[in-house]
Amino acid sequence: MELASASSAGETTWPSWALVVAAALVSGLLLAGPALRRRYPAAWWLLLGFPIVVFRVVQTWRPLMAGCGLAVSRRPALTVVSGLVGKGAPPPQPRVPRRGLIRPTSGGFLLLVRLLPGQVPEDFVKAAPAMAENWQVHAVRATSCRPGVMRVVASAGDPLADPQLPKQRGPGQLLRVTVGALETGSAWVVDLRRVPHWLIVGATRSGKSTLINALVAGLAPQRVALVGIDCKGGMELSLYEPRLSALATNREQAVRLLTALVDLTLDRMTLCRVARVRNIWGLTDKERPVPVVVIVDEIAELFLVASRNEKDEAHAAGTALIRLAQLGAALGVFLVVAGQRVGSDLGPGVTALRAQLGGRVCHRVADPGTAEMALGDLNPDALKAAQAITPEQAGTAVLASGDGWERARTYLVTESEAEAVAAEYAHLTPVLSELHVEP
């Protein structure tokens, strides 16, 4: 009898103690929340922020879908009305899009949603601001990941507010550089092996030069050749001259350098054909030539003409760039083309070149034509997002490729920092005698 009483007392005491411990843990997390969020934001998000947001999403999903017009009645309207009048029964619950598992990210969460019959992705895109408001998160973005399924990504805070440059350990993966942060909280990585050619546009003080600094700083420790074309007298790219295998500072030099690069590409083509491989990556380490990254700053200076002679030079430069874009990816020659203004008024060569540059980065621009040239042929939503960037959002950009688009922000890498990195790794500069440009 006493044993039974003790057992029952233990059974009643155990849940009480569990509740007390759970309450103490929750109270501790709530009290330590602000300090934990400042010092260890990822841990705070997983332990406290994410569970709270998941609760909000689950609780508000059905009314939110109904309020945004994304719910569908289970019966025709007349049937519902007649049922209410005749039987006094409660109205049937409307069907809402089926929500998948809510998965945490580094600074938010994502989930997949299956559309109901008759719904289109634009319905969810329009509802994204309401979702952010109801779930009390910074932003929500809805994109179509496959027919009938939407990918909803939420950011708890603004990951673009102050992205911090991570500590670099070693040269990293070849031709792969982390240059900033995406709006999802993930790293913004420029991978030239995956997307070989890039177009970067942006007005003065928009962040375009900072992005080039980050690229140079990330590529300098790698076994690659950097080539610069800066027709503004080398004012920008000459800072990195110790790490450049060649530098052209005017259009005449640029034409000669680009012609030499085309010849280098054709030589590599012959090398691959003799070795019976389709690209330089099929060659052995000893046979493989060094990858070449060509950085062109202020592309308009190559295409603007004032005389017949300049017209011929501009045509030659444009033709060489297009050939490099067409042939270079497989042969280890990559293009990064930047400019404050890029438009069709610079000539048909610019439009033809744009078509070969699969990666696009658009910072704040001074004219809508430049944003249209950078993003208009890829995604209209990306174009709208780029046009909404304000002068206060220096470094913020919209990047797009055939895989989709994202908002991102470059890490702050100053010119002096990039210059110091270029000098530190000057001993890695490959000597390419075929690219020698006479002053």
- Greater model confidence, 18 or 67: 67
Residues 298 and 377: their CA atoms lie apart, in Å, by 21
pTM, to two decimals:
0.78
- Greater model confidence, 439 or 429: 429
pLDDT, tens digit, 9 for 90 and up, residues 367-419: 888 888 888 877 888 888 888 898 888 889 999 887 778 889 998 888 899 99
Which of 201, 227, 219 shows the shortest CA–CA distance to 383? 201
Task: Write phi, then psi, for 432 (nearest 5 degrees).
Answer: -110, 90
pLDDT, tens digit, 9 for 90 and up, residues 151-196: 998 988 877 777 766 665 556 789 999 999 888 778 899 999 999 9
SS3 324: helix
Q: Which two tokens stand for residue 167?
A: 């500590």
Which amino acid, 429? T
Q: Range with the lowest mean pLDDT among 71-85, 113-127, 135-149? A: 71-85
pLDDT, tens digit, 9 for 90 and up, residues 94-138: 889 999 999 998 778 999 999 998 899 888 888 999 999 999 998
Q: Which residue has the tokens 């005749």?
A: 86
Per the prediction, the chain carries an average pLDDT of 84
